[in-house]
Amino acid sequence: MPEGPELHLASRFVNQACRGLVFGGCVEKSPISRNPEVPFESSAYRISASARGKELRLTLRPLPGAQPPREPLALVFRFGMSGSFQLAPSDALPAHAHLRFYTAPPGPRLALCFVDIRRFGHWDLGGEWQPGRGPCVLLEYEQFRENVLRNLADKAFDRPICEALLDQRFFNGIGNYLRAEILYRLAGWPGHEGGWGAPHSPLLSMSPFTPCRLRIPPFEKARTVLEALQQHRLSPELTLSQKIRAKLQNPDLLELCHSVPKEVVQLGGKGYGQESGEEDFTAFRAWLQCYGMAGMRSLRDRHGRTIWFQGDPGPLAPKGGKSHKKKPKGAPRDPEDRMEDPLPPSKPPSRTQRARRGLPEQTTAQPPEGTSLQQDPEVRPVSEKRKMKGRRATSGCRRPPKIKADTPSLEPEGTSAS
């Protein structure tokens, strides 16, 4: 899933690819997309992009003298599970190109396309960032840090730190792979000595001048982890260069929320994603230290998202949750191990194959409107999946099992045998 670094890399791609290009005509939307039409037409305009957290703003700016005269238009994109931008010849558009901006003549006609295989991406007209999202962890670090530490009384911080890191009101840009890498870099390095903390913190027990080993489980209470940072002070006796070196060598959790995404941006390419070029994805895989890596453990949080970690899961780990450890490549694995591995999206049957099998036409689900920012907003919660499963079970599509008249049911109505 695209996270903050992928949105920033996408904005960089758009600015580089569209530099020197002049676009013209109408903006074209695919008929199957449920996103709004883009009522924009100009004989000559340019396109630029900027990103903030998990959102990207595209600005269409008419050139002087362009017809008809009109004001610039801005759109804000959220990429969902698979969104990206591609520049392609107009006669060879990529599949799933749901919004297209065409270049003006002369020259070969190109199209800047918003491509979204799974159709969970969304765009809004007007150019306003989504209300309620916090400062960007990449571009607004000081505001981001202040926003978190000022709001530690919020009930979001009653939850495990791994779940709080997905709350876009406070950690705008952090997603599933980033939270695993951030917590691992803070707690998972053998021999790693962490930053300067409060002497009375249960997690950071040390003097103001003594480095300590940090061990923060993913299911430790978020407020317990972050309250120590409110007293985070370096000794005034240190010189400026010593303070800078201390921060670089011993970053705290919030500093890692800034520096770890920045590392992904510095890799270049497109970051995380199966649709990325082989070279891009190879560099990203080499950068990963925890997410989906052999030897790491995994658990599902209360939203159904898999968190990868090393060591003890922590006191707020799900009751009855079974931790799985990913085995090295080539080692024999049981079915439960395979279920925990990140899998590429399965390819649905083609229209011809469905017709031959007598299957109904397949439609792609759209994300619900007004999704809460308190979890990673592009992922459907587990409870909603169960509701949909329940709807299918009661819709008449499946015939209920026959029960003999003299055999009473062993389960209350509406319960599952699984």
Catalytic positions, please?
A: 2-3, 54
One-letter identity of residue 94: P
As a whole number of angstroms, the distance between CA 157 and CA 209 comes to 28
Residue 212 and residue 320 in contact, taking contact as beta carbons nearer than 8 Å: no
Q: What is the DSSP letter of 392?
A: H
Residue 148 and residue 161 in contact, taking contact as beta carbons nearer than 8 Å: no
What does the H/E/C string look like for 114-141? EEECCCCCEEEECCCCCCCCCCECCCCH
Burial of residue 328, with CB atoms counted within 10 A of its CB: 0-12 exposed, 13-18 middle, 19 or more buried? exposed
One-letter identity of residue 236: P
As a whole number of angstroms, the distance between CA 233 and CA 237 comes to 11
User: Phi and psi dihedrals of 13, rounded to 5?
Assistant: -60, -45
One-letter identity of residue 127: G
Q: In what order do the strands lie in the sheet with 97-102?
A: 28-29, 97-102, 110-116, 83-89
Burial of residue 69, with CB atoms counted within 10 A of its CB: 0-12 exposed, 13-18 middle, 19 or more buried? exposed
Closest by CA position to 173, among listed 146, 121, 134, 226 = 134
Encoded tokens for 165? 């890191």
As a whole number of angstroms, the distance between CA 117 and CA 120 comes to 8
Closest by CA position to 57, among listed 3, 14, 116, 24 = 14
Closest by CA position to 256, among listed 196, 160, 181 = 181
User: From the centroid of its chain, how far is CA 290?
Assistant: 16
| Ramachandran sector of residue 273 (left: φ over 0; alpha: ψ -120 to 50; beta: rest) | left
The beta strand positions in 241-305, using DSSP E, are: 297-300
